[in-house]
Amino acid sequence: MSSSSHSATSTFEELGLNPTTPVIVGVGQAAERLDDPDYAALGEADLAARAVTAALADAGVNQVALAASVDTAVAVRSFENSSPASQSPFGRPDNMPRAVAARVGMEPRRAVVEVTGGQSPQHLVNEFGAEIAAGRARAVALFGAEVMSTVRHAQRSTDSKPNFAETIGGQLEDRGYGIGGLISIEEVKHGIVMPTAQYSIIENARRHRLGMSGTEYARSMGEWFAPMTRVAAENPFSASTDVHSADDLSTPSEGNRRVSVPYTRRLIARDQVNQSAAVILMSVASAQAAGIAPDRWVFLHGHADTSAQPLLGRPDISRVPTSVAAVREALRMAGVSLDDVHHLDFYSCFPIAVSHVADELGLKPDDPRGLTVTGGLPYFGGPGNNYSMHAIAEIVQRARRAPGSFGLVGANGGMLSKYSVGLYSTIPTRWRPSTSAGIQAELDREGSVSLARFPNGEATIESFVVMSPDSGRPAATIVGRLADGSRFMSVADSDDTDLLELLSGDADPIGTTVYVRSTPERNFVALSREELDTRHPLPPVGFAQRYEHLEVHCDRQVLEITIRRPESRNALDATTNAELNAVFDAYFADPDLRVAILTGAGDRDFSAGNDLAAGASAAGFSMPANGIAGLTSRREMPKPVIAAVNGDALGSGLEIVLACHIAVADSEAMFGLPEVTMGLVSGAGGLVRLPRAISPMLARDMVLTGRRIDAAEALAHGLLSRVAPHGSVLEVARAVAADILAASPVAISSSLESMERTQTQSDVVDAVLDSMTAFDTVLVSEDHHEGIAALAQNREPQWKGR
């Protein structure tokens, strides 16, 4: 229907609507500041209840009756409950939706807590609009609140501490955090865990694309945000009423400290706020039955939800096409152009959150409509995941004040990772089902950039962030590209003044040649190879005089390595992995050594896997480029490694066994991958090698349940080559080594190389033909001629190894 207004007595039939058409009938906001005369230090549930009460009142009917009609209560997840690392220092209700509902007289049959992300409010309107349209709900209350200001104030105060804990119970659909893919091991290793650092990398990539100097770009960021400060100053719910110029925002000063390159404090979201907002969404039949006048109704004309691939996989770090696609799809669904939209609010945690969408849509910072209706996250306030609920509330009010106008909300989550869009108007319209799945499928066809976890050599800077000295993070983190196009993360040393000055200066450092070197802890860059060699020299290849966690013994051509951490069940920490990696480097480089045997100390454990105490910290990500024990990711193993499994091989212990060429086990040894029982995965080869070593069905059983098998079953299924009587595994392994020593070294290495190269080929005949290339090496070797001669002369061969 095209009419821009309708009477208070119009029925949904007269408006051409279905009885289940969803409509917003009420919106509400609440806030309190520490310096307010009536500041009450409210907890999350109480502040959210204020917003819900305001939303119920906004509908213009009896609040008690309206509250009683709500059948679904949905809470946006607050920051203190947004990740496994979050905490609630003063407690929280065990069922937030029902705690809020009880305060306002609602008794919903369904209670939901949404996933983490700033896209949540708009996504929930999209989702529960569809639920109402399908007849699965009639009246839905959506709400969220942040009380970070109160919590932090109470933590610093010497007064008695609040207690916000409540036991509510009842049904609760907790959707979890939903943050998978938003942070990677590489980002954690290189200090990119806070949004400020992640967004700085995206921002600096955009600066390079636009060809701006540091000064020019800083001012441009201020220009995007300066108009927002004027909007915030007029908003009664704002955290700040200060109006700033572009220079005020972008120039570092005593009151506007440098947070990173390129951000100052006034350019990033203000998260220490006490703010809440709520939306009441109903079917038009329920709204009419409740007596809500149609002039209070606001319809969702267009909507879309998209998600982007992880930051390090994006082809262009400065662009996120998924966000723009969501806006364009919502406009297409509504049948309007961007020029037809009167009110805009784009999520604005950092300038790039606005500019990355505005660039593609042709919007400018001085657009007369403004790019926010609240005042933006740095000035109005950044109430966690719930900010866009405030934007929706403001858009609804503006739509009512100007019947027939359109308002657009763009809500962002993660690192420009999730984007939800809604297009609102008082013009009646039927519900339009989501088309986001098709749009997402098309977006997913975009390629991704491969990641180099252990980069080495010449590279170029693709983007970067320099953090303030008091951030507790690496001084600078660089995203770079190797010659093959793969992307990597690395850090600059804190005393590398030349590199830090380049990154912090006015000239654009992106595209500069650097040199990168991987270490188990993290990757490092420098401006020259000589500088890198000085700061991070390559470790010498050879055996050390002593090892902290190993016992290493050479017996002529056999190397025996014993993991000696009995107090930790021979589990591996960063030191153990580094020592094993160095030992195997030395083994493969030593021409006199022909076989290596790896075992564990004692008769109980070969290895219990990774040391979980070490793995619980950032240091737990420290691993050599060659993987666990220097074996699980090693690409070339030209000489045999025998696993002498003296006891249980669990988790990474089993993954080490799988990486060895031959495995001999004690008759009482057990094998298993218990990672899933601890919320982990067997990511060091277990998921790949176990299904290739044994029946895929049994492998899945072991991986998905943590099931353990004994040595006899492991032998029967091909996981082992031999089982030794209890207590004699090392003797059996030595006998296997002796048999290998009796064979030609050239033939051994050629056979290993050929088996490794052909094992994944699907065509058996092709693999056989490929394996015949091993003859090219063997037939021209001295070992071949010696072997034939020894056979003819009935004597033991004297191998040359060449």
> Parallel, antiparallel, or unpaired for β 299-307 and 418-425?
antiparallel
The predicted pLDDT at position 616 comes to: 47
| Total residues belonging to the chain | 802
Indicate the CATH number for domain 22-185+266-443. 3.40.47.10
* Rounded average pLDDT over 50-57: 98
Fold of 457-535: OB fold (Dihydrolipoamide Acetyltransferase, E2P) (2.40.50)
Kindly indicate the confidence band of residue 619, based on its pLDDT and cuts at 50, 70 and 90: very low
617, pLDDT greater than 50: no
Residue whose entry in the numeric block shows the structure tokens 């307010």 = 36
Give the closest residue to 101 by CA, choosing from 186, 167, 168. 168
Pairwise CA distance, residues 577 & 611, whole Å: 11
Give the closest residue to 103 by CA, choosing from 170, 42, 53. 53
* Rounded average pLDDT over 650-666: 96
229, pLDDT greater than 80: yes
Q: Does the CA dihedral 85-88-92-98 come out positive or negative?
A: negative
Active site residue 675: yes
The predicted pLDDT at position 55 comes to: 98
CA distances from 1 to 288, 295, 302 (A): 18, 15, 14
The predicted pLDDT at position 1 comes to: 38
The predicted pLDDT at position 176 comes to: 94
Active site residue 655: yes
Kindly indicate the confidence band of residue 11, based on its pLDDT and cuts at 50, 70 and 90: low
Residue whose entry in the numeric block shows the structure tokens 């089982």 = 723
620, pLDDT greater than 60: no
Pairwise CA distance, residues 687 & 699, whole Å: 8
The predicted pLDDT at position 372 comes to: 98
Paired with 174 in beta bridges are 113
CA distances from 699 to 269, 281, 707, 719 (A): 48, 49, 9, 10
The catalytic residue among 114, 655, 786, 796 is 655
| Residue 71, token pair as written in the block | 């059948």
562: alpha, beta or left? (left if phi > 0; alpha if psi -120 to 50): beta
Pairwise CA distance, residues 78 & 118, whole Å: 10
CA distances from 750 to 593, 772, 781 (A): 16, 10, 11
Give the closest residue to 481 by CA, choosing from 455, 499, 448. 455
747, pLDDT greater than 90: no
| 325 or 3: which leads in pLDDT | 325
792, pLDDT greater than 60: yes
The predicted pLDDT at position 650 comes to: 96
Cβ–Cβ under 8 Å, residues 716 and 688: no
The predicted pLDDT at position 758 comes to: 75
| Residue 305, token pair as written in the block | 């939800």
618, pLDDT greater than 50: no
Cβ–Cβ under 8 Å, residues 324 and 360: yes
The predicted pLDDT at position 468 comes to: 83
550-741 under CATH 3.40.1080.20, yes or no: no
pLDDT tens digit string along 463-489? 999 998 776 667 899 999 999 999 999
pLDDT tens digit string along 282-333? 999 999 999 999 999 999 999 999 999 999 999 999 999 999 999 999 999 9
388, pLDDT greater than 70: yes
771, pLDDT greater than 90: no
* Rounded average pLDDT over 630-635: 94
Pairwise CA distance, residues 676 & 672, whole Å: 11
Give the closest residue to 307 by CA, choosing from 391, 387, 420. 420
| Residue 543, token pair as written in the block | 């055996």
Pairwise CA distance, residues 399 & 5, whole Å: 11
The catalytic residue among 146, 187, 203, 675 is 675
Encode 626-659: b = buried (16+ Cβ within 10 Å), e = exposed: bbbbbbbbbeebebbbbbbbbbbbbbbbbbbbbb
φ/ψ (deg, to 5) at 303: -160, 155
Q: What is the mean pLDDT of the chain?
A: 93
| 471 or 490: which leads in pLDDT | 490
4, pLDDT greater than 70: no
Kindly indicate the confidence band of residue 7, based on its pLDDT and cuts at 50, 70 and 90: low
Pairwise CA distance, residues 90 & 161, whole Å: 7
The predicted pLDDT at position 743 comes to: 84
Pairwise CA distance, residues 426 & 297, whole Å: 6
The predicted pLDDT at position 3 comes to: 46
Give the closest residue to 278 by CA, choosing from 42, 53, 40, 23. 53
Q: What is the CA radius of gyration of the chain?
A: 32
Pairwise CA distance, residues 544 & 554, whole Å: 12
pLDDT tens digit string along 529-539? 999 999 999 98
* Rounded average pLDDT over 166-191: 92
